[in-house]
Amino acid sequence: MQRIVISPQSNPYLNIAVENYLLSQPDNDEVVMYLWQNRRTVVIGHNQNPFAECDVERLEADGGFLMRRETGGGAVYHDLGNLNFSFVAPYHLYDLQRHYAVLQRALAHYGLQTEISGRNDLLCQGRKFSGNAFSKAKYQRLHHGTLLIRTNVDDLQKYLRVKPSKLQKHGVASVQSRVVNLSELVPEITAQNIIPLLCRSFEEEYRSTVETIPFESLAALPQVQTLQNHFASAEWKYGNWRYFQAQRSASFDWGEVELSVSADHAAGNITHVQIATDSLFPDLVGQVCRRLEGASTTTPPPPPSDSPELQPIWNDICSLIY
């Protein structure tokens, strides 16, 4: 049996709290598809500087929300014109291609031919309508993303700050030319009428009975309330990023990077490393920062031998410091 959760709420902190609760549950041999919407929200990746990615003051003055997720990746804009999806699965059932197949089959109902592109995008007619991000927990893995259906692109441009280097990298002149609302291609598609198609596609893909979990039963759980408070807290959203000043920047295969390093030059040690990045691997970036703190300011420490997947990120970040 597989499970579906559909949120009737548009509070971003409650919605992401439910997602993180689902991710924290022990392996139960089930794949969960969670569908949800947020109202006027800029969502940033785990390691991103909110003040570089978003006009925070303008967003909040307009009654919007800033939300930092646990996963990596770049900043995205949510409103009631888009639909967010999450696939939560135990390690042995996690299958990224099956998740994409659920989405693509539902969209094919409207005659939309879509493709997977780059690190984490879904495209239609060469334009992006879905960004995706990924995470691993103790028992489960997460794949989540958003479907741009009828998003207010003017608001997207108003609140998001896209770096010129990213625009040049994609060979475009504006945010608007990079993305597409699916309703531009198929006027009848909405965030509401695609939900039954996604549910049907999910059931067809997994060929099993699907149970719908009432959202209210999850939202009422004390663990979910605690998580909601965490995601809504100023410490989680803003941290000390307001005072971050990038000293070095670069673009690597695994993400854009801005780096700030503090050091005790008398002792010759690095005291603090802070990295703003849209990397899809926030845990690995965090490990690099922790390993470099206390290291010599003149001689790079040896690369980690216990984590081969960490070494490319390690080498690139060290190249910015030494």
Predicted local distance difference test score (pLDDT) of residue 208: 84
Contact 289, 318 (CB under 8 A): no
The number of residues making up the chain comes to 322
> Residue 165 above 80 pLDDT?
no
Mean pLDDT of the region 199-208: 94
Sheet holding 76-78, edge to edge: 65-68, 41-44, 76-78
> Residue 217 above 90 pLDDT?
yes
Contact 16, 170 (CB under 8 A): no
Mean pLDDT of the region 294-301: 92
Q: What is the DSSP string of 49-89?
A: -HHHHB-HHHHHHTT-EEEE-SS-S--EEE-TTEEEEEEEE
Mean pLDDT of the region 148-172: 76
Q: What is the pTM of this model?
A: 0.90
DSSP-assigned letter for residue 309: G
